[in-house]
Homo-oligomer: A and B are copies of this chain.
Amino acid sequence: MTSRIAILGASGYTGAELVRLIATHPGMEIAALTGERKAGQEMAAVFPHLRHLDLPTLARIEDLDLSDIDLAFCALPHATSQEVISALPRGLPVVDLSADFRLRDPADYEKWYGQPHAAPELQAEAVYGLTEFYRDGIRGARLVAGTGCNAATGQYAVRPLLEAGVIDPDRIIIDLKAGVSGAGRALKENLLHAELSEGTHPYAAGGAHRHLGEFDQEFSAVAGRPVRVQFTPHLSPMNRGILATVYVEGDPHAAHEALASRYREEPFLQVLPFGTLPSTRDARGSNFVHIGVIGDRMPGRAIVVAALDNLTKGSSGQAVQNANLMLGFDETAGLMLAPVFP
């Protein structure tokens, strides 16, 4: 039995990544695609790499017939997303990839996104989409809120350490290196090839990055007390990949053991042998996360490094994983693609 899927906002990178993954998914077929500014165009014109697929023409959302759709992925900009989802049929399962439903508290949303939430009742209902930690809620959810890609990477490295109580929650620094596709297909000067290639630089440093809202919410919930981390994202001249280098205080071996035992049964989480650290290249194009731990020469300090592909495990792969749960498929269906290296 094949599930009929709609992708709202299919003209961006996460939309294209959803199409890529669903193309070889054994139980999903793409029944509708939307793209407001590109409505009427074929996907092959917008994304020539998808030319071999037989896909619906990009439509406007208001022109869709959603009556026979089994699940919608919503890959729209934040703020737009809450409006669109509010107007969808109540019974339609939705996986949202925007930032609109990640924060449970309306005050947090307003603080980080600068405007009041337009659909607070949906916000209350949404389940946070970090699959390995919200699996049960996701299975029965109507609305799942995909996590931030940086937020996911940091959490994979830190949550088990807080759960196990093996690190000092007041001494967590997340230094993150992100590929450029995470910034999307928007026309911004700082995303031009000539600006970005051959350089590395921090952005939204010092506590300004919105994914801190997710870190605060989630780490505090796990620790049962307020937790605030330092977080400095950097742009690295590569298309895909996030590497989070996390500095923590605690026993390195205990940290490694906490991660290894927490993820032992998880199909997508690969904890490397103690002392081995990962590279983004080894997760590229896949739904896998590689995590390593090393001890510092200073006793009681550890470095935890997590690497994943921001478009796959950091957004669209995670979304498909959650949709698998919501639709009753095997959680890994369509997602066991091996990383693409070199």
Seen from chain A, the residues whose Cβ lies within 8 Å of a Cβ on chain B are: 13, 16, 19-20, 23-24, 47-53, 173, 175, 177, 179-181, 185, 187-189, 191-203, 205-208, 212, 228, 230, 232, 234, 236-241, 243, 245, 247, 267-268, 270, 272, 275, 277-286, 288, 290, 294-298, 301, 303, 305, 307, 311, 336-342
Contacts and interface: CB of A to CB of B under 8 A. Distances in A.
B290 A51 contact: yes
A240 to B, nearest CB: 7
B338 A200 contact: no
A213 B199 CA distance: 27
Contact of A20 (B194, B245, B288, B340): B340
Contact of A298 (B24, B230, B282, B295): B230
A206 B294 contact: yes
B234 A247 contact: no
B193 A192 contact: yes
Contacts of A232: 175, 245, 303
A281 B199 contact: yes
A257 B36 CA distance: 35
Chain A, interface SS category: loop
B340 A200 contact: no
B194 A185 contact: yes
A301 B268 CA distance: 35
Contact of A173 (B173, B240, B295, B297): B173
A201 B234 contact: no
A245 B49 contact: no
B52 A338 contact: yes
24 contacts: A13-B194, A48-B279, A48-B290, A49-B282, A49-B283, A49-B338, A51-B272, A181-B194, A181-B342, A185-B192, A187-B187, A191-B192, A191-B194, A192-B193, A197-B238, A197-B239, A198-B281, A199-B241, A200-B241, A202-B305, A206-B275, A212-B297, A228-B297, A230-B303
Given A279-B200, A336-B23, A236 B177 contact: yes
Given A185-B194, A187-B189, 5 more contacts: A52-B267, A175-B175, A175-B245, A237-B237, A337-B337
